[in-house]
Chains A and B, each alone.
Chain A
Amino acid sequence: QLQLQESGPGLVKPSETLSLTCTVSGGSISSSSYYWGWIRQPPGKGLEWIGSIYYSGSTYYNPSLKSRVTISVDTSKNQFSLKLSSVTAADTAVYYCCAGAAAEYWGQGTLVTVSS
């Protein structure tokens, strides 16, 4: 059973870069079976897909965030990462990592607050 765990700072200053890592256990991040992605949820609001990366390295980003987002994979650590640059208060949200074409597997989520 695939398990995912997000990690990273819970507080980021405006204009800085948000960086999160998702550690995968119970399976290989090099597997062709999964897309690896990030989804966020602002407090009290709905879900927003940020982007996904396939085992081949192909990336797919939400057009509304594309200019600020980078998703990458570290196969040596069985992890994938999210970087979101030039953050503002509007980027405050619970960030989830997920796996699968239909997001079959989810991490527990981590709250990131953007504030000075």
Chain B
Amino acid sequence: QSVLTQPPSVSAAPGQKVTISCSGSSSNIGNNYVSWYQQLPGTAPKLLIYDNNKRPSGIPDRFSGSKSGTSATLGITGLQTGDEADYYCGTWDSSLSALFVFGTGTKVTVL
């Protein structure tokens, strides 16, 4: 059972913007960097955002991340059909012992 909560699904038309929330607590998001991952159907997850808002080389600036308190948000602008995938947030949790936790996952559908 994940300690990070995401909406099960979001959708929008091509060209539009979507945001995905990730809600946690002070033991995880509140005191650690957040990462975001994209998982296209049948493939391994890929890092989209690290350290709350940084993009690895090759990730377009249509993808953005932010964090405030114990919540984080992934934004996708100029939505494309190729963005249809599952998205997960992740961060370290230091409540009892150090462990990495993932969000529940959000399915993005391009209408």
Contact = CB atoms under 8 A, between A and B. Distances in A.
Contacts of A109: 44
A13 to B, nearest CB: 26
A interface: dominant SS: loop
Interface size classification for chain B: 20 to 34
B33 A102 contact: yes
Interface in B82-97: 88, 90, 96-97
A46 B47 CA distance: 15
A55 to B, nearest CB: 16
B102 A46 contact: yes
B98 A60 contact: yes
A102 B50 contact: yes
Nearest to A47: B102
Interface of A: 37, 46-49, 52, 60-63, 96, 100, 102-104, 106-109
